[in-house]
Amino acid sequence: MSNFEVSSDIDTFLRKSTKEEAATFLGLEDTKAQWGQITGTLSDQTDLQAELDAKAPLDSPTFNTSVKIGANFPDDAKLLMTDNGTTDGNGGALVKQNNKLFIGCSETVSSNWVFQTETDGKKVFKSPTNGGIRFGSTGSFLDHYKFGTFSPKLASGDGSIVQSVYSVRQANYVRIGDLVQVNIRIQINNFDTAWKTSTKNWKITDLPYSAIGNHNIEIRPIRGWMDLGDVNITGALQSGNDYLWVEKFVNNGTTAGQGANTSRVNGNSFATHPFNFSTGSFEFIITGAYKTNET
């Protein structure tokens, strides 16, 4: 048989044979590794180990860039930040529920801030009652955020007289850290009998927090206090008190109040009584901010 005929037969065989038959005939073997035949450990596969090392572990991952949440963040999804150093166990939370995004310190969404769209299309943050933001350690300026209502009273300086009937008594406060902003509106149609002949000093009691240091708060008469003999009304809190004195500024007054040229208001403070104790009424608004000594 000539060399030509042998080559022709080999060529015909290779063209008609399978890949495996051709590889066997030519002495070639499939060197691709098969699962179950790999020896050694994972760390011996250096390229694979390098890729795995570059991935963030589930336990204490380190992120070199921002953590991104997709635009289609599903409802009821949660991103919790656990802080084992806190008693409640949850150091922070991002929760989407009922198509609202809640941000706060607790997985209980009713305690957290909510990010939502208003009817005018504006996106805003809203805080629930007694909700909070906490940055830094206890005692930082934004350690507490609270707001609510309270019911102040008009009382005598020694506490022996407390007005019992009010036409209007509305008051609210906002607290950020140790700073308390108060807004009070009081209207009284008739003084209690004990007030009608009393000349005792007046104070507003039952503020939401007691004061640290001394603070002045503005009192603006709306009806009633129209003639005070060219004096202005103010309010003064003293350290440790949860009430404020009703005071007047006078050009040559005493230092009975918080500052120079002030004295506390009583029945004799009016040049002429601007209302009838039996049938008249008076109303005033109190606004201002002070620092609380409560943690």
- The pLDDT tens digits of the residues spanning 40-54 come to 777 777 888 888 887
Tokens of 61: 């991952």
Q: What is the pLDDT of residue 69?
A: 65
- Cβ neighbors of 263 (< 8 A, separation 6 or more) are 247, 248, 250, 253, 254, 256, 257, 269
What is the model's pLDDT at position 81? 65
pLDDT digits (tens, 9 = 90+) for 160-218: 999 998 999 999 999 987 889 999 999 988 888 888 778 899 999 999 999 998 888 98
Between 288 and 263, residue with greater pLDDT: 288
Q: CA dist 45 to 49, 57, 96, Å?
A: 6, 19, 42
> Closest Cα to residue 134, out of 73, 88, 180?
88
- Predicted pLDDT of residue 185: 95
The percent of the chain in helix, strand and coil, each rounded to the nearest 5, is 15, 35, 55
Say which residue, 90 or 91, is predicted with more confidence: 91
- If you average pLDDT over residues 206-235, what whole number do you get? 82
Kindly give, in sequence order, each residue whose CB lies less than 8 Å from that of residue 216, ignoring residues fewer than 6 positions away. Answer: 234, 235, 236, 237, 258, 259, 288
Distance from the first to the final alpha carbon of the chain: 108
| 263-274 pLDDT per residue, tens | 888 877 776 665
Domain spans, the chain: 78-132, 147-291
